[in-house]
Structure 1
Amino acid sequence: MTRVDFYVLDDQAEAARERFACRLVEKAFRLKHKVYLHTASAAAARRLDSLLWTFSEGSFIPHVLAAPDLDPSLADATPVQVGTGEEPGFDAAVLVNLDGVVPGFFSRFERVAEIVGGDATERTQARERFKFYRDRGYVLETHRIGSGAT
């Protein structure tokens, strides 16, 4: 069964969730996990695509924007994909969800990381996602992340 981790950030800065998502993706990549970073919009996916190249001076995370016309051999060879909307077309172990809702395809992943920002809207959406998973019997863990961690 899929394990779901909620990372609750103290940092209320607008980009805190995205910066923390990059750190989480980097950790999963270093552990040799394939990752799908799910966003709420194409614009958010493009922002994350850029941020993954620049968030840390010494890091390198090979990634690609997911797209219906993405070459399957490139998709299979790239450990991290960033996308929105449709179910990703590659097998990954970890889903990092930056959307405000639970993606319909979440259960195909071994682990789901839900990142909760500091503003009231994000917290309300996160409570709904938490309730969704809990009501379906998923294993849930909550991690409080201090403002210096993002």
Structure 2
Amino acid sequence: MPRIEFYVLPDTSPERRLSVACQLARKAWQAGLPVFMRCVDDATCATLDDLLWRFRDASFVPHDLYDDNPHAPVVIGIDSPPATPQGLLINLHPQLSADLDQFSRVIEIVNQSPELLNLCRDNFREYRRRGYSPQRVEL
């Protein structure tokens, strides 16, 4: 059963949410974990793909879109199952992944946008209903 964490940001910036997702992906990759960044749409996938190239000047995070290389160390996709199990899922999608149990860890990134807060509260309750013990992490 994966460890579920909600990382809570103090602001409403969607850009900061994606930047934190990149930082978490980099940290997990450096720790040797495969990473799947689950987005809501192709536009968000493209934004993350671009952001992973430039969010840190002095480092590179090896990544690719799922359709181009599902075995990359950091994979960006929507609803595809992970090609490498037991990694980290960074869920930027408003709904839970159908493949939760294929991951060792799941992170949801929450900002203070009212709509996102409500969606993430629903996800938190759904994780509990399914028997998981989600944790809250304040950033």
Partner residue, 2:11: 11
Deviations 1:62-84 (A, max 9, x none): 000001xx4xxx543x2110001
Matches within 5 A, 1:1-150: 1-67=1-67, 70=68, 74-76=69-71, 78-145=72-139
* Paired amino acid for 1:130: F
Deviations 1:21-80 (A, max 9, x none): 00100110110110000000011001000001111111210000001xx4xxx543x211
* Paired amino acid for 1:100: P
Q: Percent identical across equivalent pairs? A: 33
CA distance in 1, matches of 2:11, 2:56: 18
CA distance in 2, matches of 1:34, 1:88: 9
TM-score, normalization: structure 2?
0.94
Give unpaired runs (5+ residues) of structure 1: 146-150
TM-score, normalization: structure 1?
0.87
CA distance in 2, matches of 1:103, 1:75: 17
Aligned length: 139
> What RMSD in Å do the two structures reach over aligned CA positions?
1.3
Structure 1 residue 15: deviation in Å? 0.8
CA distance in 2, matches of 1:88, 1:33: 12
Deviations 1:6-32 (A, max 9, x none): 001002122111011001001101101
Give unpaired runs (5+ residues) of structure 2: none
CA distance in 2, matches of 1:144, 1:116: 10
